[in-house]
Structure 1
């Protein structure tokens, strides 16, 4: 009877160790071994899209002329003031 109780205690521990060994063994496989033999290589010529780190050349002229920029800033300031008044009235 004593041997049966020992076996019942050791069996789950042994199973857990076996599962852990399989899990750790799967992590040690090389990724290069997992690629199929008929996989296509990456193209050598550059694609039509720019790489992320490449930026467009600097522009010599401003995107928005200064007079239009001042008009837009004034409109935004007026909208901000209207919203502040509306929020104060809502309280």
Structure 2
């Protein structure tokens, strides 16, 4: 594996742990870490932080008006572009 490939995959480790990579990219990272002791060790080092991250902040329930105002903005944008009504 080239240095460029290694750097790209090592930069994706955090996103991989958080489940934020598209499936194909996640598979590429998985194949890379099988043969890369450095990235495998980094993944193991980052894992505890990824495990506690979901519990680090309280869940936030957005106000009901948020969806309404967001959809109104989308509809205005669609009409401004000459499209049909989004609703």
Normalised to the residue count of structure 1, the TM-score between the two structures is 0.28
Larger relative contact order (C-alpha < 8 A, sep ≥ 6)?
2
Normalised to the residue count of structure 2, the TM-score between the two structures is 0.29
